Structure 1
Amino acid sequence: MVRAIQIGAVGGPEVLKSQSVDIGLPGPGEVRLRHTAVGVNYIDVYYRTGLYSAPLPFIPGMEAAGVVEALGPDVESLKVGDRVSYAGALGSYSEARIINADRLISLPENVSNDLAAAITLKGLTAQVLLRQVYKVKSGDTILIHAAAGGLGLLMTQWAKALGAIVIGTVSSEDKAAIAREHGCDHPIVYTRENFVSRVREITDGKKLPVVFDSVGKDTFLGSLDCLQPHGLMVVSGASSGPVPPIQVSQLAQRGSLFLTRAVVFNYTATRADLEAAAADLFAIVGSGKVRVSVNQRYELAQAETAHRELENRKTTGATILSL
C-alpha cells in the first residue's frame, strides 16, 4: 500500500483526500515508479473541479519525477534505479504508481528530480507552443498571458532566447517585477491597465502575430482584439473559466484570424515526438537561457493547501509536492 491523494467527488480543494491505495505490480510494458517530486499544475484544478472529467474515484496529477523500482515484462528501455519524469498520465499525486514505460523520459545528469517535476509538463507545453504551434522567430512581438506563472516564466525566457519581444499580463506589481526579471519586455498589470490598449500602444497600432492565452474566459475576446489580420490565437488553458462559445464570424471581422486550442499531449502522442520535444526542452534548460524556480514546496498531504494558493494566484514559478 502507498499513500495517495484521491478524489471521490469533484469540487473545491477540500475534496483532495489522503488515502492508502494498492497499486499492484507492473504488467507488460509497465514499470513501478517511486515518486520523489510531483508537479502541481492548473490542469489538476480542471480535473478536481470537473471541467475535465475522469472516472471517480481517481488520483489527480499529471506530472512527476522519480526512480524506477521494478520492471514489467518486455521493458527493455529502462532499468531499475533509472531517474525519469513524465507528463500526461493522470495519477501522479501518489508515493508510487504503475505507468507505461514508453511515457517516461530519462533525465540528464544536470536535471534534478525536483527540477524535472517542475518543468516536464510546463516545459513540454512551452516547447509545443513556441516551437510547433507557432514557431517564434527573432523580431516577433508576442503576448503571453499569466506571464509570472510557471508556464509564463518558462515561455517568456524561451521566447527571449529565440529573439522575440515579449509582452506579458500579470495581476500585480510584484508579479510584474518577477516577469521583468525573467525577460518580459512589457509587463502589463491587467488589474489597473487595459491590456488591449497597452498592446496597441506598445506596437504603435500594428498589433500582434500571435497571442498565447492560458487564462480563457476573462481574456479571450480581448486577446482576439490584440491580433493582426491573419494572426493566430493560441488557447492553452482556462484558469478563469472556459472560453464561451464564439461565432466564426468574429474571427472574420477581426481580419480572418486563426484559432487553435493547443493540447501538449496531442503533440507528444508518439514516442518520437515526445523524445524530440523533451530533448529540445532539456537543451534550452541546460544552456542556462531558461531558469526555473521552484518557489513553492508542499508535502503530499498538503495538496489541498497547494490548490488553494494556486487558485488564489498566490504562487509564482513552479509548485511541487515533495516526497
Structure 2
Amino acid sequence: MVKAIVISKTGGPEVMEYVDVEVGEPGAGEVRIRHAAIGVNFIDVYFRIGLYPQPLPSGLGQEGAGVIEAVGLGVLGFKPGDRVAYAGRPNGSYSEVRLMPAAMLVKLPDAISFDIAAAALLQGLTVQYLFRRTFPVKEGDTILFHAAAGGVGLIAAQWARALGVNMIGTVSSDEKKALALAAGCTHVINSKTENIVERVKEFTHGKGVPVVFDSIGKDTFIDSLDCLSPLGTMVSFGSSSGTVPPFSLNELASRGSLSITRPSLPHYIGTRADLDAAAADLFQMITSKKIIIDINQRYALSDVAQAHMDLEARKTTGSTILIP
C-alpha cells in the first residue's frame, strides 16, 4: 500500500483525504511511477471544487516527476529506472506511486532535477504554447500578462525577456510587483491600487496591446478587452477568479474587431511529436538559464490542504510542489 490524496466529494480543501491505496501492475501502454516531486497548479482546485467535473472518488493532480518502476505491454521508449515527468490528465499525481499512460511522459535530461521538472512542466509548457503557437510573440512586441508573479507568470516574464518582448504584468501586491519586475517584466501594475486599463494605455502611448494573456477570468475579462488595440487578440486560458460570464460578440466588434480564444494545454501536446518538441523547447530555456524556476513553496504530500488554501488565497509566488 502507498499513500495518495483521494476526494469522494467536491468542496473545500478538507475534502482531500490522505489515504492508503493499492497500485497494481501497469496495463497495456502504461507505466508505474514512483514520484519524487509533485506539482501543484490552480487547475487542481478547479477539479477539487467541481468546476471541472470528474467521476468520484478520484485522485487529484496533473503534474509529477519520478522514476519508472515497471512498464506495461506495448510501451516503447521507456524502461524501469528512467527519470521521467508529465503534465496532464488523468488526475492522480498527488500520490507516492501511480499508474500513468506512457504517451504522457517525457524523459528528463540529467540537468533537470525532479523538483524543477515537477515545478516547471505544466506551467512551462503552458507558456511555451501561449508564446510559440497561440499567439507567436516576437521581439519588440508589447503584451499584457495577468498574474505575473504566479508560477506561469514568472516563467512568462523570463521567456518574454529572452525573446526581446516587452511584458506588462499585473499583480495583487507591491511585494509581487518586485518579483515580476525582477523576473523580466518591463512594467508591472498592482491591480489592487492601480487602474489596469489606464496604466496599459499610458505604457503604450494610448495604443493598447496586440494580445492579452488572461488566466484570471471573471475579474479581469472586460479590462483585458479594453486594453487591446484594434484587431487585438484576447487569450483567456484560465479562470482563477471565476468563469467569464456570457457576453455579446458585439463587445468584440465595438472595441475594434477583436479576436478571442480559449486554449488548453492538452490540445497542444496531444501527439508524441508535439509533446517532445514543446518539452525540448522548455528544457532548453531552463538549461541555458534563460529561465530560472523559483520553487517558493514546498509542502509534504500530507499537507496538501494547506497548499491549496495558500494557493487560493494568493499567498503563493512562483511554483509550488509537494514532496511524497
With structure 1 as the length reference, what TM-score do the two structures score? 0.99
State the Cα distance separating 1:106 from its structure 2 match: 0.1
Alignment of 1:29-178 (within 5 A): 29-89=29-89, 90-178=91-179
The C-alpha deviation readout for 1:95-120, integer Å capped at 9, x for no partner, is: 11111111100001110000000001
SS, match of residue 60 in structure 2: coil
CA–CA distance in 2 between the matches of 1:23 and 1:34? 11
1:12 aligned partner: 12
Distance 1:92 1:226 in 2: 37
Q: Following superposition, which runs of at least 4 residues in structure 1 exceed 3 angstroms of deviation?
A: none
The one-letter amino acid of 1:131's match is R
CA–CA separation in structure 2 for the residues paired with 1:82 and 1:147: 34
Q: Shift of the alpha carbon at 1:206?
A: 0.7
Match of 1:290 in 2: 291
CA–CA distance in structure 1, aligned partners of residues 131 and 240 of structure 2? 20
Pairing of 1:227-242 with structure 2 (within 5 A): 227-242=228-243
Shift of residue 21 of structure 1? 1.2
Residue 273 of structure 2 corresponds to 272
The one-letter amino acid of 2:172's match is: S
Counterpart residue type for residue 131 of structure 2 = L
CA drift at 1:76: 2.5
Give me the identity figure in percent.
57
Aligned to 1:262: 263
| TM-fit CA distance, 1:13 | 0.7
Q: What is the CA–CA distance in structure 2 between the aligned matches of 1:256 and 1:91, rounded to whole Å?
A: 42
Q: How much does 1:185 deviate? A: 1.1
CA distance in 2, matches of 1:213, 1:160: 19
1:211 is paired with a residue whose SS is strand
Write the distance in 2 (CA, Å) between the matches of 1:294 and 1:165: 24
The letter for the 2-side match of 1:287 is: S
Q: Secondary structure at the residue paired with 2:136?
A: coil
Q: CA deviation at 1:125?
A: 0.4
Partners of 2:147 and 2:179 lie apart in 1 by 11
Aligned-residue offset at 1:22 = 1.3
Paired with 2:103 and 2:191, the residues of 1 have a C-alpha distance of: 42
Of 112-121 and 285-294, more deviation after overlay is shown by 285-294
Residues paired across the two proteins, number: 323
Q: CA offsets, 1:58-87, max 9 Å, x none?
A: 100010001000111122311111000001
3-state DSSP of counterpart to 2:36: strand
Moved more, 207-216 or 19-28: 19-28
Cα drift, residue 23 of structure 1: 2.0
Query: Partners of 1:43 and 1:232 in 2: how far apart?
Result: 23
The TM-score with structure 2 as length reference comes to 0.99
Partner deviation per Cα, 1:288-320 (whole Å, 9 max, x = no partner): 111111100000000000000000011000000
Which amino acid in the other structure matches residue 55 of structure 1?
A: P
* Residue type at the aligned position of 1:147: A
For the residues of structure 1 that align with 2:184 and 2:74, how far apart are their CA atoms?
46
Secondary structure of the 2:76 match is coil
* Distance in 1 between residues matched to 2:76 and 2:261, nearest whole Å: 37
1:187, CA displacement in angstroms?
0.7
Aligned AA (2:302): A
Q: CA deviation at 1:2?
A: 1.3
Q: Which amino acid aligns with 1:127?
A: Q
> d(CA) in 2 for partners of 1:166 and 1:27?
45
**C-alpha RMSD of matched pairs (Å):** 0.7
What SS does the aligned partner of 2:59 have? coil
